[in-house]
Amino acid sequence: MRFAAIDIGNSRVKILSKEHGSVVFPIDELDDTWFDGLRSFIQKHKSPYSWALSSVNSKVEEDIIDMLIEFSPVIIAAEFILNNQTLIDISQVSGAGSDRIFGVIGATNYSKPPFITVDCGTAITINYLDKNSTFRGGAILPGVSTQLRALNQFTEQLPLLLPEYTDLPFGSTTMQAMTVGTLWSAVGAIKEIISRIKSSAGIQSIPIVFTGGEHQLLASALSDMEIISSPNLVLEGILTAQISLPSETDFSQNI
């Protein structure tokens, strides 16, 4: 049995397999071209193939599952994998999204615990795995793009901007002020939360694994921290957990 992972996010669909590598398809609700490209890529994966699926986007999830069923005999829900994996202990948290947990599992390929993962997407999630491989939870805050969209949507005067890096301490124009405020508020929050986790755990230093669509932007503003970068961390976690399941696991339990 060969394995592939698919992660359906709010704005992107990402796929990772050892056979065909990784690919990203931005979701465009006004143009179906992205879906056609996704279908073409999935067709490359020859049966028998086991697909592990994680999703936080119910709007497109059903259509993608229907498409996967055309090409694969086995589709496994992320929840099934999480309920059967033994790589980390998730009993101390409730309601955590599977993307957060799989990101933590993916980070075990880069560092021994304790460590922190920071996933920089529509939301920024900060997640802590302690020295006993127990997932202790973390924090969730708006991503930089989400902040910028909110400023535009809920005001009359502020424009819609794309996130970008600036080392200005303050902005002399409205657009500069928005860029400074959204970028460095996210950076400040990440630093403060990590500092509080270290203080609570009684440790001086801790590996930090960054991922997500905006992780390069935020990592560039955190040059004073030792950061491990992994653009496919959640997918790596899905594959790692899927492959680690006992050989006697019944993979016929499709979605």
Query: Can you give the pLDDT at residue 250?
Result: 66
Q: Same domain for 52 and 116?
A: no
Query: Can you give the pLDDT at residue 11?
Result: 83
Query: Can you give the pLDDT at residue 223?
Result: 85
Query: Can you give the pLDDT at residue 2?
Result: 86
* pLDDT in 10s for each residue of the chain, 255 residues: 788 999 898 888 999 998 889 999 999 888 889 999 999 999 988 877 889 998 888 889 999 999 999 988 789 998 899 989 999 999 999 999 888 999 999 999 999 999 999 999 999 999 999 999 999 999 999 999 999 999 999 999 999 999 999 999 999 999 999 999 999 999 999 999 999 999 999 999 999 999 998 999 999 999 888 899 999 999 999 999 998 987 666 655 556
197 part of a folded domain: yes
Query: Can you give the pLDDT at residue 253?
Result: 52
10 part of a folded domain: yes
Q: Same domain for 120 and 75?
A: no
Q: pTM score, two decimals?
A: 0.86
Q: Same domain for 26 and 73?
A: yes
Q: Same domain for 131 and 206?
A: yes
Q: What are residue 208's DSSP bridge partners?
A: 116, 227
**E-assigned strands of the chain?**
2-8, 12-17, 21-26, 49-55, 74-77, 115-120, 123-129, 135-142, 208-211, 227-229
Q: Torsion over CA of 197, 201, 205 and 207, rounded to 10 degrees?
A: -70
Q: So which residues are the catalytic ones? A: 99
Q: Same domain for 141 and 222?
A: yes
How many helices (H) and strands (E) would you count in the chain? 8, 10
22 part of a folded domain: yes
97 part of a folded domain: no
Q: Same domain for 65 and 144?
A: no
CA distance 192 to 190: 6
CATH assignment at residue 39:
3.30.420.40
CA distance 9 to 162: 19
164 part of a folded domain: yes
Q: How many domains does the chain have?
A: 2
105 part of a folded domain: no
Q: Are 154 and 115 in contact (CB under 8 A)?
A: no
139: left (phi over 0), alpha (psi -120 to 50) or beta: beta
Q: Are 125 and 214 in contact (CB under 8 A)?
A: no
Give backbone dihedrals phi and psi of 68, rounded to 5 degrees, phi first: -60, -40
Q: Same domain for 46 and 117?
A: no
48: left (phi over 0), alpha (psi -120 to 50) or beta: beta
Q: Same domain for 65 and 122?
A: no
| Containing structural domain, residue 76 | 2-81+238-244
Query: Can you give the pLDDT at residue 249?
Result: 67
